[in-house]
Structure 1
């Protein structure tokens, strides 16, 4: 298999990925600092051979080879390692793509047992023997780079042809409808004449036909009969105009996708056809936005955003369980030291990033990944701690973006915000838990102290016993007594509000019609999860059908960045002051995939990696439901109606909760439990 320096492939790929965004043909790079891969990496291992062994060597880059500290001639494609104990060191240089190494022999192969360092701390003694003292870490591997043909620099998504379902002559051009939202490479060809071809893309018919304001477009000159393959874009509709005598062109697409094992993924079906459609469209939305990385929306940004990504990870754990894509995205978002700004420049997104590492561990039990990220977790937290106020609380600095959510009501995002303190507490709690996991006792004690301080100060400053709610913020020493759902629902979700206080928050905030409503799927994700956590499954079922069902009624074939039911017609397409600025395929729109798996099928790990797990199924007013939840051991399947539950798991150690009963799952065979 190929090995690289940990995180470097993701940083290199992320630079390609994040810089593909265009706005009406203009290149649009991300707002934040972009790092680069280390251009020189040394890979090393120690072997002990009973007999000499010939190995094949492939590198992405130029390299030198040392055997027991002695430089060998050239860049050999094959090399014989003598019998006995030896140390192999290969230094690989590559400015363009991450240095990568592939070695295969009878017993000597590149894998994660090899060490890697980017530090050039080599010195040579008077005998010509080289010595090193760099910081060595386990080399990175990937399931995608197992054979010598699977070079990291050639990583690409899979494609398959996609034909339009209809075409229509409109004005001077032709409108092609591909039937539903998609993403891929448009192919335009078979012209008999030279001339200008103009292509206008749209998530909606209106956008594709609006040549002046559609978000993405292409223009090119035809030269011969060879089809032109355009850069990957999102669309449902494509409007094509030809000039200069060019005849009508053949137009089709290559749908781009990340290959995943669908058979082992999640599934959901029930007695409600609308809910089935909601799950299907949510799953399709996730598949469209799960690519090289888990991105936000496929049309406009096409970037990795930490706040969007943490929800994608959670939905992924109930849909495809693609832990490789999760790790790629976490690594790419973190980047390299030194830290000069918050992730994506957003303070809350930095706090989400910490939690995403712990979430990943809880679903996979992958301690090695936590250990890999630990040094970068600490340096990122050092940056956070260096910007706290004298009480140890987070306050936005002039160069910070405080996001929280897109809101339709006046809400200041200044000062010491309660919402940010609750996220900061979770980030510090994550650091404490990860330090304990890795045996870092001094760090664990340090972060535990900081965590307790933030929890204490948050309650002291923001909990109002009369209003039974967490208040908004402190600005210039003055308490802003505005009440929003944001800090209150996170206090429930993170367990920072006890049973009594959680009930008070539900009554006075979450179910209070006088508190401003949330209109983005982004925060509806957390709002509805908090309600499920409090046992309001029937209520949440109605909300899912109303909110996501409302998008379906508006013709959605993937779920949107934002949905306001009172908007009409093309108002649904508008955002950011642009007529088609809204993303109609946004990862955070797929919340029902997660909610239905975790709170209706009711399955979640109670020990990391499903070593132990529980199932608390809830019909939520349905007549019946069935589905499966993926785990590292394979999917857990459940069927339920009003009379019985049938459950089957590939791993024992589960507990099925039915009413007041708890049933141990100690077999991999089907279990049937009556409900009457």
Structure 2
């Protein structure tokens, strides 16, 4: 008997029964435990049980993006769907999958993202999780300290043994093991309020107002209707509590998007790297409380680079592609100002295609994406004339351009023809060329323009004598950033890779949390996994080890408050290890959009062993390596309809594997 399909999604939503869809012709996807599918049969049923569409037996291996073929689905109705399959080499079909429910909203209407955030169609639902305290301590002055273990965006409920007025202090960061930090750095949360307890019922403690203007900025996202305002806090201190405060008296209600904590897993021989991975996982869950990828508590605003880095990590930990589709559309309406931030939207569209295998989303956004290339800023040789943000805050730029400010925006860096903006421009052109080919659009224009930019890039920025890239036209300075971005994007000529790599390695972590994504990406790509892992875990104040030492329970916006005085402890762009571990350490890369065919090029990174589970649209990939018995042992478990090209350390020819469990060794 073939394995029963599981992991059903509809319109790339894992939890469609708790939201509403507007597409009258949605698409269905499912996972197989093993084997290769040869035939499928799919049924869609009305709430009454009537079969609205039966695909019949379809001879096809397609298991993602199967479009509804029945009559149009009407608005405001409930449905279920199920699927069964036949595998290659088997005449017996599987059992029907467990039915998945879904409901329609206003069919044919596509919700357009607005700051009021009042529509919840076509995206996974928000959930409230009740968190009980991990520790309650009564201090000598009678004040109670209550620790929930990690910070969440949430609300607080109290039920007193007697009516009383109490003072509640909320803290995102601890000062000591049993006290919150009432003077935290930057925009890390500390607030206080008074509330009246009831002896008869649980009461919501009013959320203290933010000291900064949350939601005032154009494009800031507001709490959706039906939910109380939240704030990020890990612990509270309570003054004036009548009697003994027990666990049953206090609850944190954490607001977040639907999230499966078991979808991904990682462990390794270094406990600090384990802790970093868990820090990232919690960050994605906790910061999803608005259903949109935001930059953190201070602004609650989507930013393009933030969203792209979060997308890469979150979608390697949970099958929530819709959150980033919503964010991408949002940012196409409420764009921000940096030059290369615009290019990140093209990277987001390409990443969505790679994760889902779906081209319809990028096709619908095509004209708006094309404008994000900023081709109107290009001069005759193809290079953009535009400032670049390079890195943020400005002090993290490693002296880029000698401190020259851009004339088009004083927050950006010059020279006006610079290596960072143009590295992203070339990278975005290549992305558009790949998308155009997938969509059946003419892609030669983008390829030709990319080649023109590449030649001009090398002519203008490459210092052949030193074998490194200069910051910009007219500059002799070769910063970390001028070299890490072309190295990460594959823009460095082969002959100069050793010298560019040497410069990059010599600089260490001379960049911000944001640029660290690309710095480590470049190191992993060049086989320098050990150097990358060492930077992640380095002692001092510029690593993820330091985030843990600071007491952050979500990733921080900056390495330390001394580098960015207004930092938050809730910034998902700091969660780069979530994508760098699968993509860099294990060398996971989709060779086909939708992960039907993947590449695996594991590196030890100085670890003696590591295990990883990554969710994909086709099911979980389970990977592990171990060097403790000599040599390199690699275990691979692939779901059905997936093949892998595996290249082990020291090998040049990949081994081709089909679905199932495999044990390899060098």
Q: Distance in 1 between matches of 2:78 and 2:484?
A: 53
Q: After superposition, what is the alpha-carbon deviation per residue over 1:148-205, rounded to whole angstroms, capped at 9, x for unaligned?
A: xxxxxxx533322332523454879654332333332122453856758464433233
Q: Distance in 1 between matches of 2:457 and 2:642?
A: 41
Evaluate the alpha carbon distance shift between residue 312 and residue 117 of structure 1 in structure 2; reply closer, same or farther with a 3 A threshold: closer
Could you tell me how far 1:269 is from its partner in structure 2? 1.7
Q: Tell me if 1:386 matches 2:410.
A: no
Could you tell me how far 1:673 is from its partner in structure 2? 1.9
Evaluate the alpha carbon distance shift between residue 215 and residue 368 of structure 1 in structure 2; reply closer, same or farther with a 3 A threshold: same
The aligned residue for residue 217 of structure 1 is 191
Say which of 614, 636, 639 aligns to 1:647: 636
Q: Tell me if 1:667 matches 2:658.
A: yes
Q: Tell me if 1:142 matches 2:122.
A: yes
Query: Is the CA contact (8 Å cut-off) linking 2:136 and 2:144 kept in structure 1?
Result: no
Say which of 540, 555, 561 aligns to 1:559: 555
Query: Secondary structure at the residue paired with 2:450?
Result: helix
Query: Is the CA contact (8 Å cut-off) linking 1:166 and 1:178 kept in structure 2?
Result: no
Q: Distance in 2 between matches of 1:118 and 1:271?
A: 46
Q: Distance in 2 between matches of 1:88 and 1:325?
A: 26
Q: Tell me if 1:505 matches 2:500.
A: yes
Q: After superposition, what is the alpha-carbon deviation per residue over 1:512-571, rounded to whole angstroms, capped at 9, x for unaligned?
A: 34xx842422212211111111111222222222232343344443432222xxxxxxxx
Alignment of 1:247-326 (within 5 A): 251-263=250-262, 265-293=263-291, 295-296=293-294, 298-326=296-324
Q: Distance in 1 between matches of 2:139 and 2:561?
A: 24
Query: Is the CA contact (8 Å cut-off) linking 1:655 and 1:662 kept in structure 2?
Result: no
Unmatched tracts of structure 1, length 5 or more: 7-12, 14-41, 46-54, 57-86, 91-100, 120-139, 145-154, 337-342, 564-571
Alignment of 1:264-663 (within 5 A): 265-293=263-291, 295-296=293-294, 298-335=296-333, 343-381=335-373, 384-389=374-379, 392-396=382-386, 402=389, 404-406=391-393, 407-408=395-396, 410-411=399-400, 412=403, 413-414=413-414, 415-441=416-442, 444-474=443-473, 479-507=474-502, 509-513=503-507, 517-546=509-538, 547-563=543-559, 572-573=560-561, 576-577=564-565, 581-642=566-627, 643=631, 644-650=633-639, 651-658=641-648, 659-660=650-651, 662=653
Q: Distance in 2 between matches of 1:298 and 1:248?
A: 35
Q: Tell me if 1:180 matches 2:150.
A: yes
Query: Is the CA contact (8 Å cut-off) linking 1:529 and 1:595 kept in structure 2?
Result: yes
Evaluate the alpha carbon distance shift between residue 575 and residue 499 of structure 1 in structure 2; reply closer, same or farther with a 3 A threshold: closer
Q: Which of the pair has more CA radius of gyration? A: 1
Evaluate the alpha carbon distance shift between residue 316 and residue 210 of structure 1 in structure 2; reply closer, same or farther with a 3 A threshold: closer
Q: Distance in 2 between matches of 1:609 and 1:168?
A: 53
Q: Distance in 1 between matches of 2:284 and 2:73?
A: 42
Evaluate the alpha carbon distance shift between residue 584 and residue 627 of structure 1 in structure 2; reply closer, same or farther with a 3 A threshold: same
Query: Secondary structure at the residue paired with 1:435?
Result: helix
Q: Distance in 1 between matches of 2:558 and 2:578?
A: 17
TM-score by length of 2: 0.69
TM-score by length of 1: 0.68
Query: Is the CA contact (8 Å cut-off) linking 2:157 and 2:250 kept in structure 1?
Result: yes
Query: Is the CA contact (8 Å cut-off) linking 1:209 and 1:239 kept in structure 2?
Result: no
Query: Secondary structure at the residue paired with 1:157?
Result: strand
Q: Distance in 2 between matches of 1:309 and 1:166?
A: 36
Evaluate the alpha carbon distance shift between residue 200 and residue 273 of structure 1 in structure 2; reply closer, same or farther with a 3 A threshold: closer
Q: Say what the alpha-carbon RMSD is for the aligned residues.
A: 4.1
Evaluate the alpha carbon distance shift between residue 163 and residue 106 of structure 1 in structure 2; reply closer, same or farther with a 3 A threshold: closer
Could you tell me how far 1:473 is from its partner in structure 2? 2.3
Query: Is the CA contact (8 Å cut-off) linking 1:429 and 1:448 kept in structure 2?
Result: yes
Q: Which structure has more RCO (C-alpha within 8 Å, separation ≥ 6)?
A: 2
Query: Is the CA contact (8 Å cut-off) linking 1:189 and 1:228 kept in structure 2?
Result: no
Could you tell me how far 1:457 is from its partner in structure 2? 2.4
Q: Distance in 2 between matches of 1:193 and 1:395?
A: 66
Q: After superposition, what is the alpha-carbon deviation per residue over 1:337-366, rounded to whole angstroms, capped at 9, x for unaligned?
A: xxxxxx222222111111111122122211
Query: Is the CA contact (8 Å cut-off) linking 1:199 and 1:238 kept in structure 2?
Result: yes
Q: Tell me if 1:227 matches 2:203.
A: yes
Q: Distance in 2 between matches of 1:402 and 1:667?
A: 44
Could you tell me how far 1:471 is from its partner in structure 2? 1.0
Could you tell me how far 1:278 is from its partner in structure 2? 2.5
The aligned residue for residue 132 of structure 1 is none
Query: Is the CA contact (8 Å cut-off) linking 2:159 and 2:197 kept in structure 1?
Result: no
Query: Is the CA contact (8 Å cut-off) linking 2:644 and 2:658 kept in structure 1?
Result: no
Could you tell me how far 1:116 is from its partner in structure 2? 4.3
Could you tell me how far 1:416 is from its partner in structure 2? 2.4
Q: After superposition, what is the alpha-carbon deviation per residue over 1:1-50, rounded to whole angstroms, capped at 9, x for unaligned?
A: xxxx99xxxxxx9xxxxxxxxxxxxxxxxxxxxxxxxxxxx9999xxxxx
How many residue pairs get aligned? The number is 529
Query: Secondary structure at the residue paired with 1:209?
Result: coil
The aligned residue for residue 130 of structure 2 is 160
Could you tell me how far 1:510 is from its partner in structure 2? 0.6
Evaluate the alpha carbon distance shift between residue 512 and residue 323 of structure 1 in structure 2; reply closer, same or farther with a 3 A threshold: same
Query: Is the CA contact (8 Å cut-off) linking 1:269 and 1:625 kept in structure 2?
Result: yes
Q: Distance in 2 between matches of 1:421 and 1:584?
A: 31
